[in-house]
Chain A
Amino acid sequence: MTVRRLRPALTTLLLLALAGCQENAPPKVGESLVYAAGSLQAVGVQKEVVIRLDQQACLVKTGDVNLRDASGLGVLVLTRPSFGWSVRSYSFPRSITTVRGYLNISGLGTSFPLVRGTTTVTRADPDAVDARIDWTIGHPSKATSDSVTTHIRVVGNFHAVPGCGR
C-alpha cells in the first residue's frame, strides 16, 4: 500500500480530527448531582426531557449559578441565590424578572422558568454556593400561548464555584 493511495484516507482522517473535536461542551467546573426530567411542549415541539446536569456548577460574576450538562444542552440558571434562599409557588403569568431561576434547553430556543419549588442554600459567598434544589419548571418565558403542558422536575445537589464569566 503506497503513501499515495493512503493520502485520501489520511486527509479524511485529518478533517475528521479537526471537525470531531467537541465544541459545545463546557469545561468541568464545580460539582453537581442534578437530574432534570419531564415533558415539555413549546410551539410545535413535544419533547421528553431527561438531562443530567453533571458537568458544570458555576458561580458567575453576576451572582447567578449555572448548572450544565456535558453536551451543553441543558443549562439551569439560579438567579442570585443567597443563604437560606427558598422559593415556593410562583403563579402565572409573571414576568421573567420575578422568577429566580430557569432552565434553558439549547435548540428549543426558549427558556423554562421556575414554577414552584424549594432551594435550600447552605452556603453562599464569593467562593462557593452549596444548595439542594427541587424545582418544577414550565411555561416558556417567551410567552407562547399554546405551550401550557410543560412539566419538568429538577432535583439534586450542587457545589458551585467561580470559574466561568468571572
Chain B
Amino acid sequence: MIPSLSPAAPLRQAAAVLLLAASVSSARLVAQAPVRPERPAPATWQVGTYLGVARSSPGNGALGTMPNRDHLLLGLQAGTTILRVGAVQVNYVAQLLPLLVVHDRTAAAYDSLVKELAVAPLPRRAWAVGIAPFGLELATPASRRVSAYLSSAGGALIFSRAYPDVTGRRTNFTLEAGGGIRLRTRASQWAQLGYKYHHLSNAGTAFANPGLDANLFYAGYQWTARLPR
C-alpha cells in the first residue's frame, strides 16, 4: 500500500558506481597509450540535421512511465564507418541536441483544480539541450539509391528544470534505438526518415527516477564532409 524502494536498488546503484569507476580507469589506460607519431588521415563523415516529433509518451513504456508528454527534438549528427562486414557497415554516430521541448499535453486538465487550490501549477513545458556521443549504426552502403540502417545511442540531456518530475533532476541520461532509411538525392547527399524509441531518466541519481519514453519519428538531411577520424 505504501511505496518503498526495492531492497536491491542500493546494491544495484553501488554496483553501477563501481563499474563506472572501472570503466573510467580503463579509459585512462587507453589515454596513457603511446601517442602515434603520425596524424591520422581525415575520414569521410556523414553530417546532417534532423527534426523529430513524438506524441503522447507511453505510460507503460519499455522503461519509462510518465504519460501524455509530447516531444520536439532537433538534432545534429555526424557519423563515420568504423567497420565493414560484407555489405553491412558499422558506423559510429555522435549527436548534438541543441533543442528538446517536452510538452505536457494533459496539464490543462488540471487548471480548474489548480485554481480551486490557489496554487501554482506544475510547468507545462520543459526545454533541454544535450549530446548523444555514444552511437552505433548498422547500415547498408550509403552509395545505394536507398539504404537502411538500425541504430542505437546513449547520451545526456540538461533540462531547464528538474524533469520529468519535480523530485527528479535537471540532468537525465538517454537511451535510444531505432532505424530508418536514407534516400540518396545527389552524389553525396541523402534525405533521411526514421523512427526511434527514446528513453530518458536520471539513473537513480535523484530522489525519484520516473522515466520518460517516446516513440519518435524524424526526418533529416545529410551530406558528406572530410573531418578528422
Q: List residues of chain A with CB under 8 Å of any chain B CB.
A: 1-13, 15-28, 33-35, 37-38, 50, 52, 54-55, 60, 62, 64, 66, 68-73, 75, 77, 104, 106-107, 111, 153, 155-156, 165
Question: Contact partner of B211 among A22, A35, A50, A155, CB < 8 A?
Answer: A22
Shortest C-beta distance, A5 to chain B (Å), equals 6
Shortest C-beta distance, B154 to chain A (Å), equals 4
Q: Which residues of B contact A23 (CB under 8 A)?
A: 5-6, 9, 204, 209
Q: List residues of chain B with CB under 8 Å of any chain A CB.
A: 1-6, 9, 12-13, 16, 19-20, 22-24, 26-27, 30, 59-60, 63-67, 80, 82-83, 92, 106, 109-110, 113-114, 116-117, 119-122, 133-134, 154, 164-168, 173, 175, 199, 201-204, 207-211, 229
Whether A22 touches B210, Cβ cut-off 8 Å, given contacts A15-B16, A73-B165, is yes
B23 touches A20 (CB 8 A): no
Q: Which residue of chain A has its CB nearest to the CB of B90?
A: A3
Shortest C-beta distance, A33 to chain B (Å), equals 6
Question: Can you list 30 A-B contacts (CB < 8 A)?
Answer: A1-B82, A3-B82, A9-B27, A11-B19, A12-B20, A16-B154, A17-B175, A19-B13, A19-B204, A20-B175, A22-B211, A23-B6, A23-B209, A24-B208, A25-B66, A25-B208, A25-B210, A26-B3, A27-B65, A28-B59, A34-B113, A35-B113, A35-B114, A37-B119, A52-B122, A68-B3, A71-B168, A72-B208, A104-B2, A153-B116
B67 touches A104 (CB 8 A): no
Q: Which residue of chain A has its CB nearest to the CB of B25?
A: A8
A22 touches B209 (CB 8 A): yes
Question: Contact partner of B109 among A2, A11, A33, CB < 8 A?
Answer: A33
B122 touches A25 (CB 8 A): no
B208 touches A71 (CB 8 A): yes
B210 touches A33 (CB 8 A): no
Shortest C-beta distance, B66 to chain A (Å), equals 5
B3 touches A104 (CB 8 A): yes
Q: Which residue of chain A has its CB nearest to the CB of B3?
A: A72
Complex formed: what's the CA distance from A26 to B210 in Å?
A: 9
Complex formed: what's the CA distance from A70 to B166 in Å?
A: 11
User: What would 18 more interface pairs be, CB under 8 Å, given A7-B30, A18-B12?
Assistant: A15-B16, A15-B23, A19-B204, A20-B173, A21-B211, A23-B5, A24-B210, A25-B65, A27-B59, A62-B1, A70-B165, A71-B167, A72-B3, A72-B208, A72-B210, A75-B1, A106-B208, A165-B1
